[in-house]
Amino acid sequence: MPVGRGFQKGQSGNPGGRPKAYTAIAKLVRDRTDDGAKLVDFAIRVWNGEVDGMKTERSRSWAHDWLTDRGFGKPQEFLELSGGSGAPALDDRELTDAELAVLAKLDQPAESSPTPVLRLVPGDRPDAAPAGDGPGDEPSAG
């Protein structure tokens, strides 16, 4: 297959399909959690502040997000490109030479400069949250 051409028409990008291990793990999780009912019950208990070590606002917020994402789906985001949102559609024939020059610069690849490497060590950032056992702030007793 030529580089940069994508896949041939009718050819799968993943001919072997999803690896069997993923389906086996998913089945194991469903079997051990009564098809996810135990996970939902746990998240509801966290949300209600009934789980020791997970009574913080952060933990309850995690539970809220987890429950709503799975119960209602993550909200879709739409971006109107046709100008239907009250803004006129962009017609490059109406742009000045200066505006076209700015757009042309935006289309140019960035100059190749070394990318700075940022290495973070746990506890190195003053704004970092304390390390815990999971989505909660408080480490478990054990």
The two structure tokens encoding residue 26: 């998913």
Residue 138: how many CB atoms within 10 A of its CB? 16
CA distance 63 to 69: 10
Break the chain into its structural domains and give their ranges: 34-72
142 residues of the chain, pLDDT tens digit each = 445 566 677 777 777 777 777 788 889 989 999 999 999 999 999 999 999 999 999 999 999 999 998 888 887 777 666 655 666 666 777 888 888 888 788 777 766 556 555 665 665 555 555 555 455 555 545 4
